[in-house]
């Protein structure tokens, strides 16, 4: 088995691979894209960090490739879709940099309170300026943490040790979990208004991009201090620049940027009240050693025994089970992400029910696929089939699996229900149709529908009145959005009806607003499967 280590990892990780019988290890740090294409022709595994890009061209050039391992959390530099098409497992090491990033974040917070880097720089050039570099204390100040996952939780512990009041905004965090951590879970607007310091710890998704923009900064205290060691783009850089210049933001600490590396002429470089680091979140000896050894062990497990851990594109199951359950894994993931997108942010329980021949199968991997689908837009690249249950537990969401022997009306059926703290239930059910095992959604919130579980959907609840189909068609037509298919459902004439419209392209914001503002529309959700 030939393993290409394309980016430098811990020597202990490389040594572990070399100790494996039958392994040939090639270290090729800093190789050009052309050189990588040449090297991968006969490799079985590739290990990268963040430098080397594993593109579709790489997968096309590597017929023997079985697994790509990323020594770190993200897989931004790996074309996961191309990997899946080529049957290549993509794995990461999601927990290895937790402490390193939390400690760097708190270092930035301390430097935002006491301008140590600026004072140190002045001393280096012979100055003795005590007045300019006066700071403030953390004690009894309020820290707002946006996103209370692994890293955000560790930052909270450190802030509490400094005597800070900790507010958290995490719409998916259950009140019981917040209470156990001794943090106050509040709305984002309340966090912005009350916090003296704000740090963000969310994945970069459609929902979190520019979460902190001009409007958000206007709600903050004058003199707030802002920090980002998570992902560039959560804080809108142009808005932050303007706020730093105006004094609304007193100081900032940034380890990540919208475009990396940061441009040499970036205005951030010239501002005295900003501390910048070049994406050092995971750059500690301990973190690098941990992820280097961890990814080496995972690669060896895949190649030696077919055991898959921390996979981002396939479940951690053997080949025989994969063949039997493969179609259900995909259906389950899509049901999970559908329910998450139509449910409220805060959910207390996720219940999965299986009917038919699924009752007699080991459906643990299907359940994991559903949980991963549910978390995909919440936890981003961190979630995989191994850690999905843990991430749900951290959010305070209780998972339940039911295997029912009742007659569902289908040969096999999967239902996913999200139950809110006040008992409201949001659900979707799906099955497989025909010899091709086509994935179909057959009910949403108890209403019978029939739509292919793929692509982009508009899920609408409306007053059952004449002309609604034409109205929706006209709005989408004006927005140049083509309808692929449509399913209609109602319980009684003149009551409420459901309309599920599968579209080829995403409707514009104007079209969405027009649909949502129509007086007959009671609920409108755009869902991407």
Residues 396, 474 within the same domain: no
- Which phi-psi region, left, alpha or beta, contains residue 379 (left: φ > 0; alpha: ψ -120 to 50)? alpha
Does the annotation count 260 as an active-site position? yes
User: What CATH number should be reported for the domain holding residue 410?
Assistant: 3.30.1330.90
- The half-sphere exposure of 346 on its side-chain side, counting CA atoms within 13 A, is 15
| Predicted local distance difference test score (pLDDT) of residue 422 | 92
Domain that holds residue 325: 315-452
Q: Across-strand partners of 490?
A: 497
Residue of 468, 466, 467 whose CA lies nearest to 458: 468
User: Are the beta carbons of 138 and 159 closer than 8 angstroms?
Assistant: yes
Domain boundary among 387, 419, 452: 452
The two three-digit tokens of residue 189, written as one number: 């607007």
User: Are the beta carbons of 463 and 480 closer than 8 angstroms?
Assistant: no
Residues 445, 459 within the same domain: no
| Predicted local distance difference test score (pLDDT) of residue 332 | 94
- Cis amide prior to 261 (ω within 30 degrees): yes
| Predicted local distance difference test score (pLDDT) of residue 427 | 95
- Which is catalytic among the residues 70, 150, 158, 231? 231
User: What CATH number should be reported for the domain holding residue 501?
Assistant: 3.30.70.260
User: Are the beta carbons of 452 and 502 closer than 8 angstroms?
Assistant: yes
Residues 178, 243 within the same domain: yes
- Which is catalytic among the residues 86, 114, 193, 279? 279
| Predicted local distance difference test score (pLDDT) of residue 389 | 82
Does the annotation count 279 as an active-site position? yes
Rg (CA), the chain: 25
| Predicted local distance difference test score (pLDDT) of residue 437 | 85
Instruction: Write the burial class of residue 285 (CB in 10 Å: 0-12 exposed, 13-18 middle, 19+ buried).
Output: exposed
DSSP state of 443: E
Q: Across-strand partners of 45?
A: 3, 67
Residues 128, 269 within the same domain: yes
Domain boundary among 452, 470, 486: 452
The two three-digit tokens of residue 113, written as one number: 């309170």
Residues 107, 232 within the same domain: yes
Q: What is d(CA 216, CA 320) in angstroms, rounded to the nearest whole number? A: 51
Domain count, the chain: 4
Residues 120, 225 within the same domain: yes
Taking the alpha carbons at both ends of the chain, their separation in whole angstroms is: 36
Between 509-516 and 468-478, two packed helices, what is the crossing angle to 10 degrees?
160
Residues 131, 266 within the same domain: yes
| Predicted local distance difference test score (pLDDT) of residue 175 | 85
User: What CATH number should be reported for the domain holding residue 113?
Assistant: 3.40.50.720
Residues 215, 116 within the same domain: yes
- Which is catalytic among the residues 260, 286, 393, 400? 260
Residues 441, 469 within the same domain: no
Residues 193, 87 within the same domain: no
Which of the residues in the chain have pLDDT under 70?
Answer: 315-323, 381-382, 384-386
Residue of 397, 381, 378 whose CA lies nearest to 389: 397
Residues 327, 339 within the same domain: yes
| Predicted local distance difference test score (pLDDT) of residue 322 | 61
Residues 446, 325 within the same domain: yes
Q: In sequence order, which ranges of 140-270 are alpha helices (DSSP H)?
A: 150-161, 175-180, 188-194, 214-219, 237-246
């Amino acid at each position: 088995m030939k393993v290409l280590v394309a980016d430098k990892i811990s020597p202990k990780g490389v040594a572990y691979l070399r100790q494996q019988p039958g392994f040939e290890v090639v270290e090729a740090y800093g190789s050009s894209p052309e050189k990588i294409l040449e090297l991968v022709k006969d490799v079985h595994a590739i290990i990268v960090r963040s430098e080397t890009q594993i593109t579709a061209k790489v997968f096309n050039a590597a017929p023997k490739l079985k697994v790509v391992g990323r020594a770190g959390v993200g897989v931004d530099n790996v074309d996961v879709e191309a990997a899946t098409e080529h049957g290549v497992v993509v794995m990461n090491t999601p927990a290895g940099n937790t402490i390193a990033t939390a400690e760097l974040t708190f270092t930035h917070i301390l430097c935002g309170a006491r301008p140590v880097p600026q004072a140190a720089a002045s001393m280096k050039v012979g100055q003795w300026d005590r007045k300019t570099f006066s700071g403030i204390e953390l004690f009894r100040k309020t820290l707002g943490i946006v996103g209370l996952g692994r890293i955000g939780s560790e930052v909270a512990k450190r802030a509490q040790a400094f005597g800070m009041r900790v507010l958290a905004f995490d719409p998916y965090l259950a009140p019981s979990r917040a209470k156990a951590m001794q943090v106050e879970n509040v709305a984002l607007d309340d966090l912005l208004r009350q916090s003296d310091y704000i740090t963000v710890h969310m994945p970069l998704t459609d929902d979190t991009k520019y979460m902190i923009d001009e409007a958000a900064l206007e709600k903050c205290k004058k003199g707030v201090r802002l920090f980002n060691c998570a992902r560039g783009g959560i804080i809108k850089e142009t808005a932050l620049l303007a706020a730093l210049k105006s004094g609304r933001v007193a100081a900032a600490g940034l380890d990540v940027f919208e475009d990396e590396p940061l441009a040499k002429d970036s205005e951030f470089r010239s501002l005295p009240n900003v501390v910048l680091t070049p994406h050092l979140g995971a750059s500690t000896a301990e973190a690098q050693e941990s992820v280097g050894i961890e990814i080496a062990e995972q690669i060896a497990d895949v190649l030696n025994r077919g055991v898959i851990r921390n996979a981002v594109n396939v479940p951690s199951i053997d080949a025989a089970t994969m063949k039997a359950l493969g179609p259900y894994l995909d259906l389950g993931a899509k049901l999970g992400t559908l329910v998450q997108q139509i449910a409220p942010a805060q959910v207390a329980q996720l219940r999965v029910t299986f009917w038919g021949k699924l009752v007699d199968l080991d459906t643990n991997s299907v359940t994991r696929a559903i949980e991963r689908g549910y978390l995909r837009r919440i936890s981003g690249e961190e979630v995989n089939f191994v850690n999905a249950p843990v991430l749900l537990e951290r959010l305070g969401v209780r998972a339940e699996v039911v295997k029912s022997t009742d007659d569902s009306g289908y040969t096999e059926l999967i239902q996913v229900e999200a139950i809110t703290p006040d008992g409201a239930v949001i659900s979707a059910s799906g099955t497989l149709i025909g010899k091709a095992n086509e994935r179909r959604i057959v009910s949403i919130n108890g209403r019978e529908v029939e739509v292919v579980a793929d692509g982009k959907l508009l899920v609408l609840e409306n007053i059952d009145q004449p002309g609604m189909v034409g109205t929706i068609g006209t709005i989408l037509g004006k927005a140049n959005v083509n309808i692929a298919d449509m399913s209609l459902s109602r319980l009684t004439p003149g009551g409420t009806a459901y309309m599920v419209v599968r579209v080829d392209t995403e409707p514009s914001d104007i079209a969405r607003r027009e649909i949502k503002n129509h007086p007959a529309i009671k609920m409108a959700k755009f869902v991407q499967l």
